[in-house]
C-alpha cells in the first residue's frame, strides 16, 4: 500500500492542483490531500471551505481523501503513514524553495521522499493568487478553476462587498 500526501494551502484549489492530484492518483494507492491550517498569511477561505471545495472536486476519485493538518508537512506525512510527499513544480521560481524543503524533509525523515510533478503546460502560470485577483475584478475564472470553486469565489466576493 503506497500512500502519498499532497500538502498545500489550496486557497482555493485550481485546475493546476487537480491535474497533479489526478496524475498522482494513477500512480499510488492513496492520495491524502492536506489542507494547511496554521499559516501566518491569512487565507481567503477557511480551512473548512477549502476542504469542502476540494472534496467536491475529487468525489469521482475513490483513492483520494481530503483533510486538514497543522504544523510540518513531514510530520503530517509520518502521521498519515505516507512514504511520499507530492509537490507540483511550475516555473523555475518554484524550484529553489521546493528543493530546500525537500532536502530538509529528507534529512528529518529519510523514509519519506518528495515526488515532483511538472505542471501541465496549460497550467504552468496558474496560481490560487492569480485566480483570486481575477475573480476580484469580476473576470471569468471558469478556465482556471472547477465550477463549484468559481461559484464560491463569486459568492465570497459578494459577501465581502456587502459586509
DSSP letter for each residue of the chain: --EEEEEE--TT--HHHHHHHHHHHHHSSEEEEEEE---SSPPSS-HHHHHHHHHHHTTT-TTEEEEEE-S-HHHHHHHTT-SEEEEEE-SHHHHHHHHHHHHHHHHH-TT-EEEEEEPPGGGTT--HHHHHHHHHTT---TTTS-HHHHHHHHHHHHHHHH-
* Residue 126 near ligand ADP by CB under 6 A: yes
Q: Binding of ligand ADP at residue 12 (CB under 6 A)?
A: no
Applying the rule CB under 6 A, the residues between 42 and 101 that interact with ligand ADP are 87-88, 90, 94
- Binding ligand ADP (rule: CB under 6 A), the pick from 4, 9, 30, 47 is 9
Q: Residue 85 CB, nearest distance to ligand ADP (Å)?
A: 9
Is 17 an annotated catalytic residue? yes
| Candidates 5-13, 25-33, 76-84, 148-156; binding stretch for ligand ADP (CB under 6 A) | 5-13
Q: Which of 3, 55, 65, 90 is catalytic?
A: 90
Catalytic residue set? 17, 41, 90, 128
Which residues of the chain form contacts with ligand ADP (CB under 6 A)?
A: 8-10, 14, 16-17, 20, 87-88, 90, 94, 119, 123, 126-128
Amino acid at each position: 500500500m503506497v500512500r502519498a500526501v499532497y500538502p498545500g494551502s489550496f486557497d482555493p484549489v485550481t485546475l493546476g492542483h487537480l491535474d497533479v492530484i489526478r496524475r498522482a492518483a494513477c500512480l499510488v494507492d492513496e492520495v491524502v490531500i492536506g489542507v494547511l491550517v496554521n499559516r501566518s498569511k491569512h487565507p481567503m477561505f477557511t480551512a473548512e471551505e477549502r476542504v469542502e471545495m476540494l472534496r467536491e472536486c475529487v468525489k469521482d476519485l475513490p483513492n483520494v481523501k481530503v483533510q486538514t493538518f497543522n504544523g510540518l508537512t513531514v510530520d503530517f506525512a509520518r502521521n498519515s503513514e505516507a512514504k511520499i510527499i507530492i509537490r507540483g513544480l511550475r516555473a523555475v521560481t518554484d524550484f529553489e524553495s521546493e528543493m530546500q524543503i525537500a532536502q530538509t524533509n529528507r534529512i528529518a525523515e529519510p523514509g519519506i521522499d518528495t515526488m515532483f510533478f511538472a505542471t501541465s503546460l496549460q497550467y504552468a502560470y496558474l496560481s490560487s493568487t492569480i485566480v483570486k485577483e481575477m475573480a476580484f475584478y469580476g473576470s471569468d475564472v471558469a478556465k482556471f478553476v472547477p465550477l463549484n470553486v468559481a461559484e464560491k469565489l463569486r459568492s465570497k466576493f459578494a459577501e465581502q462587498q456587502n459586509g
